Amino acid sequence: MKLDHMVVMVRSLEASLPWYEAMLGLIGFAKSRDHVWVNKDGLAIDLKQAKAETPDYGRYAPGLNHLGFTAPDRAALDAVRDGMAAAGFDVPEIQQFKGETATFFRDPEGMRVEVTVYDPDPGA
């Protein structure tokens, strides 16, 4: 089986839609209908309005911690970073880990969206 879709609940669609529209477009998703983006593999991401009385996202709380996407190379990661900056959104520093380079963007709710480049030869 393959992953079909993800639903991201947001406090404010008005605040979150511009951020997700920029981010998802930069990583290969196309808007298929209101609040839904799909990539070439058929994975859909759907934004929905959270109920007002629900608590905010917490990094160490139970539930989805972050969405992670793989960039094919450093140029693609840099293009996402540049595109988000050009769209007026904060761009965190690049993080280096053994065998990978990543940026953890934060949506308007504080949820992280990771874009990572994996070293093709981490032992080198």
Indicate if the pLDDT at residue 122 is higher than 60: no
| Domain-embedded: residue 11 | yes
Is the residue at 24 inside a domain? Answer: yes
Pairwise CA distance, residues 102 & 77, whole Å: 8
Tell me, what CATH number does 96's domain have? 3.10.180.10
List pLDDT tens digits, range 43-73: 999 999 888 888 777 777 767 888 999 999 9
pLDDT band of residue 106 (cuts 50, 70, 90) is very high
Q: What is the domain range of residue 40?
A: 5-50+66-118
Instruction: Note the pLDDT tens digit of each residue in 6-23.
Output: 999 888 899 999 999 999
- Alpha helices per DSSP H over 1-124: 13-26, 74-86
**Cα–Cα separations (whole angstroms), residue 114 to 14, 24, 67, 88, 111:** 22, 12, 6, 18, 10
On whether residue 57 sits in a domain, the answer given is no
pTM of the full structure: 0.84
Q: Domain for residue 89, yes or no?
A: yes
Domain tally, the chain: 1
pLDDT of residue 119: 85
